[in-house]
């Protein structure tokens, strides 16, 4: 890992070790890394210390605060291990460079990796110091976004997102109009559907589906659950995306035409998803390997995918090979910073989400079957690949769920697409980020390892 670090980044890890020894601790954690990043790197800082200082974090205040909040240990001169959370922060720094095509890892990437955890001693220490962690995270994103990216790092909304939003009509006042708008948006922005050797409609577990495959031989199946607030969307709304994913991943993609609300309220959609995956496990589709089934969905579909993964675990059935959650709905509280900042003028609005929740109408909005972020025990769930958009009201709850999964020991890859808005995944004909996300998910599926059967 450290061979991909600059000298200053490696020096930061060494400084973290020194801070741990100085405080008499028997581990190196995210709090120690934060102290290391608050050093000015002997004049060779890449802006990290300045960003932290501008946010109100100083070494003189942070060090005694860490000494008060962290348990001590034997200290000593022997080997001091890295905590699992710090290892995840370092892995997050590597992902930050990979996502942006930057190499090697610098101090600024270490800061992003630390902040992306959304929890732990380092983040808690910043909060105790009165730092606005959300604003600091955005400043860190801007710090790393520049040299290898074709657009200015602080430009905010991508021009494609800005143009898309400017062209959108006022939201329809009725359900039929909303569904028609979803269909029209797909036709206008999704792009031209590619040809595949196999595209056919089928019924699996009594649920209408569409099977996409780049061949006719058996292959793993990615069960796709469309977004649309449990209210809109169908087999056609995400057809272009499903075709691209099947072509690039080598997996069969099985799109689920679940029963939508308000005609069929909770738990009808969830029951349909579980019925389809159970049918695939029972070898109901001759082009699918019944031992390799993953589940993925965008927005409300991501919610259903996450809940289905947990329900299968609780039932003791064979786990899904992977869960891919694309800007998922994970919490009905709607009270995150990203909701407060982006739920008015960035496409998806708080008013729309309130309508979707009322149409879905579960009896308890904070039940884990509805708000998976409220799940008390996330251990043993399948590996997760979580995608979020920078200017999406759902961003924070998606990233919080990724962090909660990681905290429970679930292998997690989390990616935030800068400049992007909610809905970019299903419109690859317009959004570069949509095409990139499809490619990223396809790569994750290609490299996935079969789990227990």
Tokens, residue 316: 């003791």
Nearest to 291 by CA among 301, 302, 283, 300: 283
Strands of the 412-417 sheet, one edge to the other: 198-204, 207-213, 252-256, 219-225, 288-298, 323-326, 384-389, 412-417
Tokens, residue 179: 């569904």
Tokens, residue 223: 């069960």
**Catalytic positions, written as ranges:** 299, 392, 422
Helix (H) or strand (E) holding 250: none
Tokens, residue 339: 């909701």
Distance CA 127, CA 185 (A): 41
Beta-strand ranges (E) seen in 214-287 are: 219-225, 252-256
Distance CA 239, CA 315 (A): 31
Q: Where are the alpha helices (DSSP H) in 70-149?
A: 84-100, 107-116, 121-128, 133-144
Nearest to 207 by CA among 149, 269, 160: 269
């Amino acid at each position: 890992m450290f061979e991909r670090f600059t000298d200053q980044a490696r020096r930061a890890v060494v400084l973290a070790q020194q801070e741990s020894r100085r405080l008499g601790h028997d581990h190196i954690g995210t709090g120690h890394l934060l102290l290391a990043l608050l050093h000015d790197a002997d004049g060779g800082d890449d802006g990290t210390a300045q960003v932290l200082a501008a946010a109100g974090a100083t070494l003189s205040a942070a060090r005694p605060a860490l000494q008060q909040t962290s348990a001590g240990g034997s200290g000593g001169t022997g080997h001091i291990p890295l905590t699992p959370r710090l290892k995840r922060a370092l892995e997050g720094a590597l992902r930050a460079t990979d996502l942006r095509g930057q190499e090697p890892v610098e101090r600024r990437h270490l800061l992003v990796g630390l902040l992306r955890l959304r929890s732990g001693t380092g983040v808690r220490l910043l909060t105790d110091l009165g730092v606005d962690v959300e604003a600091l995270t955005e400043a860190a994103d801007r710090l790393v976004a520049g040299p290898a990216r074709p657009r200015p790092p602080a430009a905010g909304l991508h021009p494609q997102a800005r143009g898309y939003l400017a062209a959108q009509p006022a939201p329809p006042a009725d359900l039929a109009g909303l569904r028609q708008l979803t269909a029209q948006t797909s036709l206008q922005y999704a792009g031209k559907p590619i040809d595949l050797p196999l595209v056919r409609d089928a019924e699996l577990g009594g649920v209408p589906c569409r099977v996409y495959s780049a061949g006719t031989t058996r292959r793993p199946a990615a069960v796709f659950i469309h977004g649309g607030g449990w209210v809109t969307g169908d087999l056609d709304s995400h057809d272009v995306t499903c075709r691209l994913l099947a072509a690039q991943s080598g997996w069969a993609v099985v799109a689920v035409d679940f029963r939508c609300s308000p005609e069929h309220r909770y738990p009808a959609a969830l029951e349909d998803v579980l019925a389809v995956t159970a049918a695939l496990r029972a070898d109901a589709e001759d082009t699918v390997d019944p031992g390799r089934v993953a589940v993925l969905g965008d927005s409300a579909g991501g919610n259903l995918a996450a809940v289905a993964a947990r329900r299968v675990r609780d039932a003791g059935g064979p786990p899904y090979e992977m869960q891919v959650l694309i800007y998922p709905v994970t919490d009905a509280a709607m009270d995150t910073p990203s909701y407060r900042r982006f739920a008015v003028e960035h496409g998806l609005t708080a008013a729309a989400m309130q309508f979707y929740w009322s149409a879905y109408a579960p009896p308890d909005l904070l039940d884990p079957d509805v708000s998976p972020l409220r799940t008390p025990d996330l251990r043993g769930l399948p590996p997760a690949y979580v995608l979020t958009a920078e200017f999406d009201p759902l961003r924070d709850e998606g990233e919080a769920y990724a962090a909660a999964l990681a905290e429970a020991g679930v292998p997690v890859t989390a990616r935030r697409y800068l400049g992007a808005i909610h809905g970019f995944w299903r419109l690859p004909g317009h959004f570069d980020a949509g095409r990139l996300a499809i490619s990223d998910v396809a790569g994750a599926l290609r490299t996935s390892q079969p789990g227990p059967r």
